[in-house]
């Protein structure tokens, strides 16, 4: 409707004021609930053409639309806002199209699809995935589905940070204190086992620092001189020089972590089309840096470290290779970006990374452009806020992170407890129950995280997330299964729901309100893709579920004696279930058939 309405408003301005108007001056938004109307035109940008008051301009354009666009059935002007009422006939005609659609995402397809890489997860192989990674993975996977649903070619990528000083810390601690412990001998999941030694390193390292400070050394100097840190740096240098013993240890411990990661990804329901490894891409990055040094784009410091001077771009001077020749994060990010563009010739590369890295990605883009890669304009940092629990922040070095596996399992157990209290799964097999508990628990977790504007920090509250009556995933799932129950009953009543024909008559005001929401699905998905915001779809699904539940409460469906009205309500229910299913699928949330 908004697209058609914009054309008609342009036509009105051209006809009335003999002026061409650009699309960005026609600002249309949903009418506020305390005013009458469906869509509102912001009149102020058009005053330059009308040379008149906002009220007169709005009234003139409103009357033109009434006379020349039958879809507009009424209007009112409040100061500089033209509130337009869309006729019930238009909504019903649009709804008829929804009833025959096989794919409710067809209307979301863009005219000029792009090749888009979405990078998410980006774990370190020195610790297991945690709550922060959960938000990252859920946002990235949902962005992939939303963008692909709009017709783009989307590649899901992951960069595993499998090298560097932090990896050597875990390796060194295991070497010193591990006594040959393995996932098999300990019964500990591989990524958890390696994380255990990362925490142990920090504990022992802290003790060494305290001892040096007690002996009169400055704390900053002590951090650098502590034996464990010195040994870690030596180990990193050996690794980069291909020392067989160090590389063998690295390979073994990373294999433990990868097996653990795969298990967590499977539980979470996310995957990747291509996984890159920093241990490969840093080499490409070093080659790029050394080539740029020879071309005098970069400079070498007195200590032999290599830097980029980005002060002319309003940034700072950036280290790219340390004095001992080892690479930093930026080095591998350069190599990864170039490798990806060589492989996929992407139009956009979206980095799903927390907002603490905002500056890093400003530097990465500026640096790639300085090095002569014009496609760097296609790099986009999807900067999202941090996620915490009510207890506060997490610290992986201190072992206080909220483990992803534990949280997923906890959500499934909570779903089991809540569902058991409701007592609605008595005739289900144990296997069916466990599958439903899994879907409910994951829906609670995913929806609670995705309904929040990704750019905002958030607190994840497990207890709130699984409320069957609030703005939660389980509430939306319950609405979906309620509709499925209606159709199972219809089948028992021998009503052939596959052959119901909707005539479009006898539609009441409550049904019209539900139809309006259904008709807004495609524009909501398009807006979510354009704004990179799964939250728009999440909250739309909740609004739709809440509206349907009100309709279900107020009106009988199968008990309706008028067959035409009964059939219409069945069709309305069917389309509602399809769109709820599609919307939740875009969020990566599974829908049970019964609850």
Domains in the chain: ranges and CATH? 2-86 (3.30.1360.70), 120-398 (3.40.50.620), 408-586 (1.10.730.10)
Determine contact, residues 195/158, Cβ cutoff 8 Å.
Answer: no
Give me the pLDDT at residue 398, please.
47
Determine contact, residues 16/8, Cβ cutoff 8 Å.
Answer: no
Query: How far is 87 from 72, CA to CA, in rounded Å?
Result: 6
Q: Can you list the pairs that 229-235 forms with residues at least 24 positions away whose Cβ atoms lie under 8 Å? A: 229/205, 231/172, 232/165, 232/168, 232/169, 232/172, 232/201, 233/165, 233/168, 233/324, 235/168, 235/171, 235/172
Give me the pLDDT at residue 388, please.
83
Written as tens digits, the pLDDT of the chain (595 aa) is: 888 899 999 999 999 999 999 989 999 999 998 999 999 999 999 999 999 999 999 999 999 999 999 999 999 999 999 999 999 999 999 998 998 888 999 989 999 999 999 999 999 999 999 999 999 999 999 999 999 999 999 999 999 999 989 999 999 999 999 999 999 999 999 999 999 999 999 999 999 999 999 999 999 999 999 999 999 999 999 998 999 999 999 999 999 999 999 999 999 999 999 999 999 999 999 999 999 999 999 999 999 999 999 999 999 999 999 998 888 999 999 999 999 999 999 999 999 999 999 999 999 999 999 999 999 999 999 999 998 877 654 444 444 568 899 999 999 999 988 887 776 677 888 899 999 999 999 999 999 999 999 999 999 888 889 888 889 999 999 999 999 999 999 999 988 877 776 666 678 888 999 999 999 999 999 999 999 999 999 999 999 999 999 999 999 999 999 888 898 999 999 999 999 999 999 999 999 998 8
What does residue 318 show for φ and ψ, rounded to 5 degrees? -115, 125
Structure tokens at 446: 């995913």
Determine contact, residues 194/200, Cβ cutoff 8 Å.
Answer: no
Cβ partners under 8 Å of residue 325, min gap 6: 240, 304
Q: Which helix (DSSP H) or strand (DSSP E) does residue 3 occupy?
A: helix 2-17
| Strand runs labelled E in 310-422 | 317-321, 348-354, 379-384, 387-388
Query: How far is 412 from 112, CA to CA, in rounded Å?
Result: 42
Determine contact, residues 134/449, Cβ cutoff 8 Å.
Answer: yes
The closest alpha carbon to 334, from 302, 304, 379, belongs to 379
Residue 11 burial (10 A CB sphere; 0-12, 13-18, 19+): middle
- Region of 188 (left: φ > 0; alpha: ψ -120 to 50; beta: rest) is beta
Query: How far is 442 from 267, CA to CA, in rounded Å?
Result: 9
Cβ partners under 8 Å of residue 567, min gap 6: 500, 501, 502
Structure tokens at 85: 């009422």
Residue corresponding to tokens 């977790």: 445
Strands 81-86 and 317-321, sheet pairing: unpaired
The count of C-alpha atoms lying within 13 angstroms of the C-alpha of 390, restricted to the half-sphere facing its C-beta, is 5
Query: How far is 8 from 19, CA to CA, in rounded Å?
Result: 14
**Is residue 89 classed as helix, strand or coil in its secondary structure?**
helix
The closest alpha carbon to 396, from 171, 169, 130, belongs to 130
């Amino acid at each position: 409707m908004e697209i058609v309405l914009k054309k008609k408003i342009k036509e009105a301005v051209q006809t009335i004021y003999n002026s061409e108007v650009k699309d960005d001056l026609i600002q249309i938004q949903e009418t506020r609930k305390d005013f009458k109307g469906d869509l509102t035109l912001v009149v102020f940008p058009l005053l330059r053409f009308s040379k008149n008051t906002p009220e007169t301009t709005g009234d003139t354009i409103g009357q033109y639309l009434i006379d020349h666009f039958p879809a507009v059935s009424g209007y009112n002007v409040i100061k500089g806002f033209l509130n337009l009422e869309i006729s019930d006939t238009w909504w019903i005609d649009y709804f008829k199209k929804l009833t025959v659609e096989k794919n409710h995402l067809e209307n979301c397809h863009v005219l000029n699809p792009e090749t888009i890489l979405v990078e998410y997860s980006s774990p370190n192989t020195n610790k297991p995935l945690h709550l922060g990674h959960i938000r990252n993975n859920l946002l990235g996977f949902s962005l992939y589905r939303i963008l692909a649903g709009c017709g783009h070619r989307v590649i899901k990528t992951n960069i595993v940070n499998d090298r560097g000083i932090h990896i050597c810390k875990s390796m060194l601690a295991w070497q010193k204190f591990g006594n040959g412990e393995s996932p098999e001998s300990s019964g500990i999941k591989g990524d958890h086992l390696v994380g255990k030694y990362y925490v142990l390193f920090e504990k022992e390292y802290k003790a060494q620092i305290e001892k040096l400070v007690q002996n009169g050394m400055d704390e900053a100097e002590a951090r650098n001189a502590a034996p464990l840190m010195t040994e870690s740096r030596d180990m990193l240098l050996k690794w980069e020089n291909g020392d067989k013993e160090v590389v063998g240890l690295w390979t073994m411990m990373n294999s433990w972590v990868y097996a653990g990661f795969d298990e967590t990804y499977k539980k979470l329901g996310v995957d990747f089309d291509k996984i890159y490894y920093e241990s490969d891409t840093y080499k490409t990055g070093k080659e790029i840096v050394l080539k740029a040094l020879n071309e005098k784009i970069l400079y070498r410091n007195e200590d032999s470290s290599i830097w980029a001077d980005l002060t002319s771009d309003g940034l700072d001077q950036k280290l790219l290779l340390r004095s001992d020749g080892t690479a930093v994060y930026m080095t591998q990010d350069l190599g990864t970006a170039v490798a990806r563009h060589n492989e996929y010739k992407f139009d956009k590369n979206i980095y799903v990374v927390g907002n603490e890295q905002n500056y890093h990605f400003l530097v990465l883009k500026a640096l790639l452009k300085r090095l002569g890669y014009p496609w760097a304009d296609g790099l986009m940092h999807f900067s999202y806020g941090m996620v915490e629990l009510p207890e506060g922040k997490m610290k992986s070095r201190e072992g206080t992170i909220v483990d992803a596996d534990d949280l997923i399992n906890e959500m499934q157990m909570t779903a089991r407890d809540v569902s058991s209290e409701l007592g609605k799964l008595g005739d289900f097999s144990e296997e069916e129950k466990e599958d439903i508990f899994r879907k409910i628990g994951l829906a609670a977790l995913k929806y609670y995280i995705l309904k929040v504007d990704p750019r905002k920090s958030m607190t994840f509250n497990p207890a709130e997330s699984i409320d069957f009556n609030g703005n939660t995933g389980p509430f939306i799932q319950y609405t979906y299964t309620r509709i499925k129950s209606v159709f199972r009953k219809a089948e028992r009543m021998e009503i052939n729901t596959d052959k119901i024909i909707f005539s479009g008559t006898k539609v009441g005001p409550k049904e019209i309100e539900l139809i309006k929401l259904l008709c807004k699905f495609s524009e909501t998905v398009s807006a979510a893709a354009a704004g990179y915001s799964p939250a728009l779809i999440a909250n739309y699904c909740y609004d739709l579920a809440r509206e349907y539940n009100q309709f279900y409460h107020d009106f009988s469906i199968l008990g309706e004696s008028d067959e035409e009205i009964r059939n219409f309500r069945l069709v309305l229910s069917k389309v509602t279930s399809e769109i709820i299913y599609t919307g939740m699928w875009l969020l990566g949330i599974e829908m049970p058939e019964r609850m």
